[in-house]
Amino acid sequence: MTKPFSFATLAVCTALAVSFVGSATAQGLRSGGSGSSSFSLPSLSGMTAQANVTREADYIVALVNSEPITRNQLEQAVARVRQQAAGQQLPPAAQLYPQVLDQLINTRVELQSAKEMGVNISEPMVDQVALNIAQQNQIGDLAELRRRVEADGLTWNGFRSNLREQLTLSRVREQAQNSRTQISEREIDDYLLEHGQGGAQQAASASVNLGHILIELPENATADVVARQQAKAQSLADQARQPNADFAALAKANSNSSAERDQGGAMGLRPADRYPELFIQSTQSLPVGGIAGPIRSGAGFHILKVLERPSAGNGGGVQVTQTHARHILLRPDAQLSEAAAVERLGQMRRDIVSGKADFATLARQQSEDGSAEQGGDLGWANPGMFVPEFEQALNRLQPGQVSEPLVSRFGVHLIEVLERRQGTVSEREQRDSVRAILREQKSEESYAEWMREIRARAFVEYRNTPQ
């Protein structure tokens, strides 16, 4: 049956709605996903606690770049933490208050940084997030959502202000992560090798034929000899870069490498791992025909030309096993413990397997994921698209099988594999996919580094902290 609306459910769906604005896929399962952009709003009981504290005398407990954090703001934040803990043991007040205050300071610093970076959340964007929340909770329109929000003790303006703040935090964190997260071609190669994606065809697509000219350096060469040989190598590299240059002729006439000189410098088509790492690092981003060098090694100076890549410019791809699956996601919160979520999904699984219930129908009614409207359908997925714990469980299932409840970093899942197929993914598509995976894996570290830097630059003055 349809879940009853509650403010705790609203908090979960708000986070989903914010994720939805940033991406067309709101599944929250993509590999390396970070929780730094998610947020939750106070529950109704938390708001009641806030109403109580606001009747007390207010004063400043900290200044963040001259912007105050007040006692009431801290009390409200502590009330939310205590309400969301739902019976879990918390630190004593003497530890809890400073911890919560520190988080408030971090948030204030982030919001101030957002202003400096020009992050602006428009009214239409806030409207869209609110509409997403309404749709997630099977609420007809914004007017009905407003009525239910106000019935839970919030003002509509306060609700929208909270949405705007969380959207701002999400956007500034995303910008900070993206600006600091760089992925090298070598890292992509290592990932593909480690995960075995593409098998033999991947090995073929990683093969290359390099042309090579070596300008040798004798042992214990003097500075004058080194300079003379470097100048010669530079001249040859400049000639090789000229339009219509004959690299083979240059190699035959000048290269000190007898192994390739007679073949015009061609080293032959071979897997990348059979070349010196220096050669691969220097040429991996070059197109066919590209020239690298001169590059110095212990042997001397090298000029390299990319003569051939099997998949370059021919639309070639690699064969991968693609999986079509669907899932139901429950996110534990103050009203639903992880153990209760596991039990609830376990009962759903028994009903599905026995034929008493339909997976897609339950997903539409119960799943707290952006795929709920599609009956939990995740579409066709290539290897590496989901976080490891989810993908490992997915790979153990045969088509038609429904998993036992699975706990991941995003919540508790029930997974069904619908079908599998062999699909072709172009080398560019595969590398772009891996780049996105590695970027997300690094994003949390990038965010933490950025947070440390902006916090260190901020002027923070602590005043009296209530106990």
Per-residue pLDDT of the chain (467 residues; tens, 9 = 90+): 333 333 333 333 343 333 333 333 334 455 444 333 333 333 333 333 344 444 567 889 999 998 999 998 898 888 888 876 666 677 888 888 988 999 899 999 999 998 988 888 888 888 888 887 777 667 878 888 899 888 888 889 988 888 888 888 888 887 887 777 778 888 888 877 776 554 434 444 467 888 999 999 888 889 898 999 999 999 999 999 998 889 988 988 888 887 677 778 888 877 777 788 888 888 877 888 889 989 998 889 999 999 887 654 444 556 678 899 999 999 887 677 888 889 999 999 999 999 999 999 999 988 988 888 889 999 888 877 787 788 888 988 999 999 999 998 788 999 999 999 887 777 777 777 777 777 777 777 788 888 899 999 999 999 876 65
Contact 297, 229 (CB under 8 A): no
pTM above 0.85, yes or no: no
Give all strands (DSSP E) within 392-444, no chain letters.
Answer: 406-408, 411-426
Spacing of C-alpha 2 from chain mean position: 32
Burial of residue 122, with CB atoms counted within 10 A of its CB: 0-12 exposed, 13-18 middle, 19 or more buried: exposed
In this structure, CATH architecture of domain 318-426: Roll (3.10)
Strand partners, 415: 327
**What is the domain partition of the chain in residue ranges?**
7-182+449-462, 207-308, 318-426
Contact 271, 166 (CB under 8 A): no
For residues 143 and 438, what is the distance between their CA atoms, to the nearest angstrom? Answer: 42
Q: Indicate if 207-308 has the same CATH topology as 7-182+449-462.
A: no
Tokens linked to 389: 């714990």
Closest CA to 148 of 9, 245, 257: 9
Cα atoms in the Cβ-side hemisphere of radius 13 Å centred on 425: 23
The dihedral over CA atoms of 257, 263, 266, 267, expressed in degrees to the nearest 10, equals -60
Q: How far apart are the first and last CA of the chain?
A: 44
Tokens linked to 244: 């219509």
Neighbours of 462 (CB within 10 A): 13
For residues 166 and 119, what is the distance between their CA atoms, to the nearest angstrom? Answer: 12
Tokens linked to 236: 């040859």
Q: In this structure, is the dihedral angle defined by the CA atoms of residues 426, 430, 436 and 439, taken in order, positive or negative?
A: negative
In this structure, CATH architecture of domain 207-308: Roll (3.10)
Neighbours of 218 (CB within 10 A): 10
CATH match for 7-182+449-462 among 1.20.120.1200, 3.30.365.10, 1.10.4030.10, 3.60.70.12: 1.10.4030.10
